[in-house]
Structure 1
Amino acid sequence: MTSASIKQAAWTHGLGVELETPSWSALRQGFYTTVRPSSGSTFGWVHFVIPTPVIVDGNRLRAVTAWIRYAAGSSAKITNFHVYDGEKKIAGFDGLALNANAISNDTRSVPGGPAVLWGTAISLGVQFSGNGPNDYVQFVSAGIDFYN
C-alpha cells in the first residue's frame, strides 16, 4: 500500500474508550484513561470507535493501518487487537503479549486494505494477572490510516 498516499488519518482520544466488562473501572483524565480490572474478571475487551471517513472526494477509502497508543503495568498485557468495519472483522491479531511501561505505539497492517463501508472500530483484549497495583492499562488514543 506504499504506492498510494494517505488520504485521512482518523483517531480518537483514550477518554472515549468503552469497557465491555461493566465491573472494570475507567479513570478518565485529560491525558488518558486508566483501566483496571475487577477482582472477579481479569480478562475483557475494550473498544474504540474510530471516526470513519468512508468516502472522500468521491472515492471510497480503504483501511490500511490501525494504531493504538498506550502504557501498561507489569501485570497487564494486550492479547488481542481486532479491527472492525461495521459487523465485519477486517483484521484480527490474537495471542499477543503487548506490554509497555512507558507510553508506546503499536501498529498493525489491515490485510488487503479493504474499502470501508459502515464505520470502524478497534477492539482490544486485555489480560490482567489479578487486581494489584501493576494491573492497569493507560489508553492514550487509537486510530486508523485511510488511503484511496
Structure 2
Amino acid sequence: MAEKLYASWASGYTAFPETAGLRTFRQGFGVTFTIPAGRIEFIHLPIPTPVIVGNDRATLDKVLVLFHARQTSEIVEVHVFDGPRRISRFSEMRLSGDHSQGVDTRNVFTVRQPDIAFGIGVTLRVNNTSASSDSELFISSFGGDFFHNL
C-alpha cells in the first residue's frame, strides 16, 4: 500500500464567528471580520474531511489558513478538532500581517493525527491589541492535507 495525499480546501467566506453579531463582510474571495477594540474573538473554520477512503481512515497531516491580520489583530491560538475532540493546539503565537495569498511558514500548522473519525474544524483565537480602535481579520481560504494508505 502507498500513502496517498488528499487536500481539501474551503473558501474563506464559509468561516464564521462564535460571537453572534460580530461585524462580518463576505465576498467571493473571502471574509473580513471586524474585531472590536480590546476584544478576543473566536473564528471557526469547517474543513471538508475525507474521513474514510478505500476502508482506510484519514491521517490529518496539517491545516493551512490563508489570512491577513490587519491593524492590531493577531492570531494567538489555533485549535484543531476532530468532531468533539481537540486533537491539536498551537498557542503563545502572535501571528499578524498578510499571509492570505499563499502558503508560507506562518499559516501552516502540522498536526499529524491518524484515525480521523468525524470531521475537522479549526478555531482561531484572535486578539485585538488596541484598547481604542477596531481591527480586522481577513480569511481568503483554509484547508487540510490528509493521507490515506491505499
State the TM-score, normalizing by the size of structure 1: 0.87
Q: Is the 8 A contact 1:23 1:38 kept in 2?
A: no
- Unpaired segments of 5 or more residues in structure 2? none
| 2:86 equivalent to 1:89 | yes
Supply the AA of the counterpart residue of 1:114.
Answer: P
Match of 1:32 in 2: 30
Q: Is the 8 A contact 2:25 2:31 kept in 1?
A: yes
Supply the AA of the counterpart residue of 2:141.
Answer: S
Root-mean-square deviation (CA), in Å? 1.8
- Choose between structure 1 and 2: higher strand proportion: 2
Match of 1:145 in 2: 145
- Unpaired segments of 5 or more residues in structure 1? none
**1:23 shift after superposition:** 3.5
Q: Write the distance in 2 (CA, Å) between the matches of 1:49 and 1:97.
A: 22
Identity among equivalent pairs (%): 26
State the TM-score, normalizing by the size of structure 2: 0.86
Match of 1:13 in 2: 11
Equivalent of 2:70, from 49, 70, 73? 73
Q: Write the distance in 2 (CA, Å) between the matches of 1:108 and 1:60.
A: 20
Query: How many pairs does the alignment contain?
Result: 142
Q: Is the 8 A contact 2:57 2:114 kept in 1?
A: no
Q: Which consecutive segments of 4 or more residues in structure 1 shift more than 6 A?
A: none
